[in-house]
Structure 1
């Protein structure tokens, strides 16, 4: 069984979901897009993922702002508004009778190409929009036992050639990092920045606890995580010192606790890194406290008008 932050409880309903493609809904087995799609050909596209609980998409403004920023960065003109996109997501949710514990992934590519090429001038259509919404509950077993990380030799990129904050379809370097971690017997990969400081993981953001302080990277070389930002916010609102700073594996190996954050899994404890046990090898009390505070933030979001 797959172990890691995206480990979900099996749900048979996902076999029959309908998938949104450019305004139409298709059964899962029939949901297809052309091999001339720019995302397939050259990874030219952006994506966003929403969590839906009790009928409400969480932290919508933050997710939409990130998506529109990503589109602007790659020079992709979106021919619809944020409100239009939310209606597309809602249409997908309604078609699948979905309202709770849902993970909705929105993918937008530059469009169909006239011929296989990276040249955007050879795009002959508007952007393609695909929305996949699934019934997904994060595995409690994973949260209870924690995960292990392995430090990959694949570094997070420099902002001057592919900014790590960009939520784009080009994820091959992260896949390579994960493969290294899996081959080393770990669940996921820890990634350093170009200076050797701890940056992020292949699919989540990394935090460590030292004494009464919570540390995370400066944010310059890590994914622009919505959950990461919310954990930092929760710390500030509850008088928990959270430092965004440079730190190395020297600090990580001696940490009292470590955890990672992501839209799907929330906070997931890390109990081992590069074969070294973190703390006493069990999910820590600070991680547990922050998980509780984050869940309270989600409840507040759900109940907000």
Structure 2
């Protein structure tokens, strides 16, 4: 991919990467799951995206807390303790001689079914756990030039429909939003909440800067983003006013800056929304300052060590 919030260059080493599947670390071509797996059949499961930096898993406690919270909500037994899962992820990275510049997709599904049916009563055995580590770095050009967003008709739903706080495998609403945005020539979708206020993007979280203050959505209709929370933390440490609130698109169009956040790329500026140029149409001064602060936070979280992963 060369555009969008997950734009990255291709690394030939990923063709031979080893992947963890249910207790085995396998070559990529052999890393498969059954057609009767709950994740394949129904999107029944939860997942996390995690970065490996200096042999350490960045903000892993928060990632695992979110994973287990979602699993508990859908009554899914992960089958490992958080500490065991943490160590298994590291073991998978060690099997690939990985240390930094690595993005990991952790997937946990409800496991095998006796027949294609949605009820967990049709499940047998334990959860399916898959760990996919890849050498993957953000496209630096996108980090500099920023993204184009398009507001879509697909809204983020309330918790009584499908809790947006679940990092679930069932992503069709976000995929539909992504498709609409891409058909409109944008990089990512800006999604509204049921009242019409800005909620989030289809795969990242959205922020604006107005008169020196950083604003993001109320958080009621979006995932509890790890990077989102870290940016709010960094802003507080830097003395930059920042808060969660509700705001309409009108405030977006007239913002001084805008950016999105995510585990993979950190902070990416937004250059326009629905054809309206935001600020200077690129990386603004507060976004730049927060991004450096976020990089510094990762460095504190994952300092170099003499023993590589």
Give the structure-1-normalised TM-score. 0.98
**What's 1:78 paired with?**
78
Deviation at residue 282 of structure 1 after TM alignment: 2.1
Distance 2:248 2:152 in 1: 14
**What's 1:216 paired with?**
216
Distance 2:77 2:25 in 1: 24
Structure 1 unaligned residues grouped into runs of 5+: none
**What's 1:186 paired with?**
186
Residue 201 (str. 1) matches residue 201 (str. 2): yes
Residue 55 (str. 1) matches residue 42 (str. 2): no
Aligned residues: 305
Distance 2:66 2:116 in 1: 29
**What's 2:92 paired with?**
92
Distance 1:53 1:25 in 2: 21
Structure 2 unaligned residues grouped into runs of 5+: none
Secondary structure of the 2:141 match is helix
Distance 1:100 1:282 in 2: 28
**What's 2:165 paired with?**
165
Deviation at residue 236 of structure 1 after TM alignment: 1.1
| 2:2/2:9 contact within 8 Å kept | no
- How do 1:216-255 and structure 2 match up within 5 A? 216-255=216-255
Deviation at residue 227 of structure 1 after TM alignment: 0.2
Secondary structure of the 1:69 match is helix
Distance 1:115 1:279 in 2: 54
Secondary structure of the 1:179 match is helix
Deviation at residue 29 of structure 1 after TM alignment: 1.5
| 2:54/2:304 contact within 8 Å kept | no
- How do 1:92-131 and structure 2 match up within 5 A? 92-131=92-131
Give the structure-2-normalised TM-score. 0.97
Secondary structure of the 1:232 match is helix
- Deviations along 1:100-129, whole A, 9 cap, x unmatched? 111111100001000000010010111000
Distance 1:96 1:145 in 2: 33
**What's 1:64 paired with?**
64
Secondary structure of the 1:195 match is coil
Deviation at residue 34 of structure 1 after TM alignment: 0.4
Distance 1:163 1:82 in 2: 23
| 2:200/2:206 contact within 8 Å kept | yes
Secondary structure of the 2:160 match is coil
Hey, which bits of structure 1, 4+ residues long, moved more than 3 A?
Answer: none
Secondary structure of the 2:258 match is strand
